[in-house]
Structure 1
């Protein structure tokens, strides 16, 4: 028996392994191809009319979802204005006292130009300004805006943006250090928009802030939030006792059924002297009633 040279044995072995691998790959490819053919065959067996129905239903669902989340909330912007249009929006009917609110996001305000709104058919009388947030953030535009508002004859107010993750007493102390209210100013405002997983704790903490502020300024603070937030998290007689500033955009009337003092009805208003869009508000009463809400002289 003649032995084959070692190199021939090695080469033969490698060839055998390569053949096995090739067969395995071909086998897998064939199986994959068969599955694809079977899938294509099953799809091609669906009637043409059913394909069009499936495509139509998918398109309809897409349009419905897109409208519900991206168009419906803003349709009020394009509705015909049957009332009075001013400051870039359709003003709510039945309210004579108008105002706005600002923060550093509006940039530098030309208060002399803005003052001209007080001589229009729809004079702007009051303004709320962001003063603080959490336990250590001061709005960079507050000091200037607060001084200029008084200088140009606006009834002014200041608000604090509440952070549920920061100690309530600390936030109240920070607002007190940041804001010096005078007779004729509107009561301090608590802006609550951020949800908390622990709702009972949120309510207790908000009450701490409100009580401490009321004790310092000797006036009941104003509570600002959306009507949905109010109904969901602050639906309590304790919070109903505070003057309520409601945020509800792009609607003809407020859906909230409780008592309220201010209504923030849009966030896309335009005012002279302010380059950016601005929130517009109305007061639920006349000018005399608004003055009665301000901090009295001691």
Structure 2
């Protein structure tokens, strides 16, 4: 009996030990080789999806037209002689002495459109300096308001009129509209845009310029009433504008470079003669 007892005890203890080991194996079975391969596959797919999203967000979306010429110089549209740029605080402090000698495609810089306001409260920090210098250095100047989906059209219009004071010879006011609120119907959105345009038009007695990209106009601003306004189209890296309607300005690249301005800048052309451009400006 003395000999058998430890043998029996050892025999009964052994299955318990096996049971614990088998339980431990089941708990960690997710980390077995097949599961590791699945995890790596899911992780790899996640990285690819993230890369695609980042590329879309920064180079294509949300407006669908902001492609950048990363490896080549911007092309200049043929057949246009009146060139201009648009600027904001993103360009930093501009060296106007250097800029006044700038040429685009062999033609002098004629007009500069400057960001002024955004929404119902924001003012571009460099607007007043840029706006004054543009006139002092002999450019035809303009001011644009960046549309916000977080403020009413009326609030935004009066904010623009409070902060911006255009003069004779300036371009008409510009509304930069690139986004539609998700909770608004197309009809209500169009009514809001027209509200801004009508309020500002009553002040200056000229039709404001509408800036947007061509797909946005086709989708949300295709109502015939919008064709009464000068259209500034954004469409990058194409040989010609695909929009079939009438337009006055074409922002054809966001990768331009000029002396006096650090980094990239938007290049624009005017669809007409210099005399036509002058006729478009605010009269006495």
TM-score (norm 2): 0.78
Summarize the Cα distance change of 1:16–1:241 in structure 2 as closer, same or farther, 3 Å threshold. farther
Q: Are 2:76 and 1:91 equivalent residues in the alignment? A: yes
Q: CA deviation at 1:22?
A: 3.9
Q: Take 2:153 and 2:59, find their aligned partners in 1: how far apart are those partners? A: 38
What secondary structure, in the 3-state scheme, does the structure 2 residue paired with 1:91 have? coil
Q: Are 2:111 and 1:126 equivalent residues in the alignment? A: yes
Alignment partner, residue 229 of structure 2: 242
Residues 164-184 of structure 1 show CA distances to partners (whole Å, capped at 9, x for unaligned) of 220111100010011111111
Q: Take 1:18 and 1:174, find their aligned partners in 2: how far apart are those partners? A: 84
Alignment partner, residue 155 of structure 1: 140
Alignment partner, residue 107 of structure 1: 92
Q: Is the 8 A contact 1:210 1:221 kept in 2?
A: yes
Q: Is the 8 A contact 1:76 1:251 kept in 2?
A: no
Could you list the runs of 5+ residues in structure 1 that have no partner in the other structure? Answer: 1-11, 41-57, 80-87
Q: Take 1:166 and 1:71, find their aligned partners in 2: how far apart are those partners? A: 27
Q: CA deviation at 1:121?
A: 3.2
Structure 1 or 2: more helix by fraction: 1
Residues 203-262 of structure 1 show CA distances to partners (whole Å, capped at 9, x for unaligned) of 111111000000011110000001111111111111121100000111111111111000
What secondary structure, in the 3-state scheme, does the structure 1 residue paired with 2:102 have? helix
* Alignment map for 1:37-52 (pairs within 5 Å): none
Summarize the Cα distance change of 1:31–1:191 in structure 2 as closer, same or farther, 3 Å threshold. closer
Q: Take 2:18 and 2:139, find their aligned partners in 1: how far apart are those partners? A: 86
Q: CA RMSD in A?
A: 3.3
What secondary structure, in the 3-state scheme, does the structure 1 residue paired with 2:100 have? helix
Alignment partner, residue 47 of structure 1: none
Could you list the runs of 5+ residues in structure 2 that have no partner in the other structure? Answer: 1-8, 36-44, 61-65
Alignment partner, residue 26 of structure 1: 22
In the alignment of these two chains, the number of paired residues is: 251
Alignment partner, residue 51 of structure 1: none
From 252, 257, 262, give the equivalent of 1:275. Answer: 262
Larger Rg: 1
Residues 124-162 of structure 1 show CA distances to partners (whole Å, capped at 9, x for unaligned) of 100100000000000010001110110010000000001
Q: Take 1:31 and 1:134, find their aligned partners in 2: how far apart are those partners? A: 56
Q: Is the 8 A contact 2:74 2:237 kept in 1?
A: no
Alignment partner, residue 265 of structure 1: 252
TM-score (norm 1): 0.75
Alignment partner, residue 179 of structure 1: 164
Q: CA deviation at 1:285?
A: 0.5
